[in-house]
């Protein structure tokens, strides 16, 4: 009888894989518990439901019997592209829809990097950038950023990267880069500058005006944070038509399903609802910041839907992380980077969830 695992046959899939794949560790997402009772403040999800108009759009697309699901979706996500173009005052030719903004980031890496065309990023920032670059055989040129979000803009321009990821606001720091700095980098950077605005709705950051001036700028947006659609995976890129056309060559023919397309288009039309959601998250963020600071925690000024907070000594981030997890409260700890090691990243939940978190965190830090 054959061993279907392949081990008895001496089969080694890793030896057959490309060098880039074999040597690249996988991205480690935030923990997703399978049992109930957890307070999840570890993946920057929105604590509020999507707009009623979004739910209705999904139901309408699904229909009474779900028969629409037997048909392929729009290959180009046309309605969503048109909605994003209207939202930003652009044309559909400036928009590419993706299966979450992670899909768009992957397409950018595939289109504009390889073993001879390095990628670049601020360090620390979104760790998926490094994974995607490695999978494409591209070197990653890291430009250090300090805990206050300060970095050398000239180092970005001169790092030698063909594709650079500028996360604004920064994750995991939560600090926003001034728009004049983004513009100055765009003017000097010789390659594709990707302004990752996953958290922009919480800060007011908006690089869209730069698109009219700099054809090398690409902006990525997601519906997972401000729009409460992390479970549907919807995102998009904004850029010059010639850049978007290149990304269109790389993407899967049907990279965004019917329900996600309908939900994304409806979300962009529900501005008043989401303005209220964003304001509620900002308020909970600021109230949590004030409460922690009043008890001696160091909390960085955040313009995202999360905060980076360090407990007062002798408590440690690792100790508080473990104590919170024992109470079924999940946050993130990034111990491998010296900038983030003393801190916990805490997603902003509902006011009730943040009260529960703050009470537990203050008790854990006092033990």
Residue 86 to residues 244, 265, 268, Cα–Cα distance (Å): 17, 10, 9
Compute CA distances 78 → 31, 111, 233, whole Å: 34, 22, 17
Instruction: Report the half-sphere exposure of 216 (CA within 13 A, side-chain side).
Output: 19
CA–CA distance, 99 with 326 (Å, rounded to integer): 34
Tell me what percent of the residues of the chain surpass a pLDDT of 70.
Answer: 98
pLDDT at site 1? 45
Residues of the chain with CATH 3.90.1150.10: 39-48+272-366
- The residues of the chain that CATH labels 3.40.640.10 are 52-269
Predicted TM-score of the model (pTM): 0.94
The residue ranges of the chain whose pLDDT is under 70 are 1-8
Q: What distance lies between CA 347 and its chain's CA centroid? A: 13
Output the DSSP codes for 146-192.
-TTS---HHHHHTS--SEEEEESS-TTT-PPPPHHHHHHHHHH-SSE
* Predicted local confidence at residue 29, as pLDDT: 85
What's the pLDDT at 3? Answer: 55
**Domain 52-269 CATH assignment equals 3.40.640.10:** yes
pLDDT of residue 260: 98
- pLDDT at position 67, please? 96
Q: What's the rounded Cα separation, in Å, for the pair 10 and 220?
A: 44
What is 39-48+272-366's CATH number, 3.90.1150.10, 3.30.1360.10, 3.40.50.720, 3.40.50.300?
3.90.1150.10
Both tokens assigned to 355? 């009260």
């Amino acid at each position: 009888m054959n061993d279907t695992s392949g081990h008895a046959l001496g089969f080694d899939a890793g030896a057959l894989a490309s060098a880039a794949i074999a040597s690249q560790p996988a991205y480690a997402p935030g923990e997703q518990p399978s049992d109930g009772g957890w307070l999840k403040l570890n993946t920057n999800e929105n604590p509020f439901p999507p707009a009623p108009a979004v739910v209705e759009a999904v139901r309408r697309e699904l229909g009474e019997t779900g028969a629409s699901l037997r048909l392929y979706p729009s290959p180009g996500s046309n309605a969503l592209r048109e909605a994003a173009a209207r939202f930003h005052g652009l044309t559909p030719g400036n928009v590419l829809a993706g299966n979450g903004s992670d899909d768009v980031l992957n397409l950018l890496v595939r289109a504009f990097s390889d073993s001879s065309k390095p990628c670049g990023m601020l360090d620390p920032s979104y760790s998926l950038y490094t994974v995607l670059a490695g999978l494409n055989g591209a070197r990653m040129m890291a430009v250090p950023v300090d805990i206050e979000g300060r970095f050398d803009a000239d180092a970005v321009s001169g790092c030698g990267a063909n594709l650079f990821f500028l996360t604004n606001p920064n994750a995991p720091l939560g600090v926003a880069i001034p728009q004049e700095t983004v513009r100055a980098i765009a003017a000097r950077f010789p390659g594709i500058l990707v302004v990752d605005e996953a958290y922009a709705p919480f800060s007011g950051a908006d690089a869209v005006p730069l698109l009219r001036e700099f054809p090398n700028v690409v902006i990525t947006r997601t519906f997972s944070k401000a729009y409460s659609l992390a479970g549907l995976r919807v995102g998009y890129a904004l850029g010059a038509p010639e850049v978007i056309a290149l990304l269109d060559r790389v993407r899967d023919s049907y990279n965004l399903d019917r329900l996600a397309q309908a939900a994304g288009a409806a979300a962009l039309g529900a501005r008043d609802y989401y303005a209220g959601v964003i304001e509620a998250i900002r308020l909970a963020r600021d109230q949590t910041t004030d409460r922690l600071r009043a008890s001696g925690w160091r909390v960085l000024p955040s313009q995202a839907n999360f905060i980076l907070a360090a407990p007062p000594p002798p408590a440690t981030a690792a100790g508080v992380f473990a104590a919170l997890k024992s109470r079924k409260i999940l946050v993130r700890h990034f111990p491998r980077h010296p900038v983030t090691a003393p801190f916990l990243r805490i997603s902003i939940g509902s006011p009730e969830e943040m009260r529960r978190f703050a009470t537990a965190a203050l008790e854990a830090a006092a033990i």
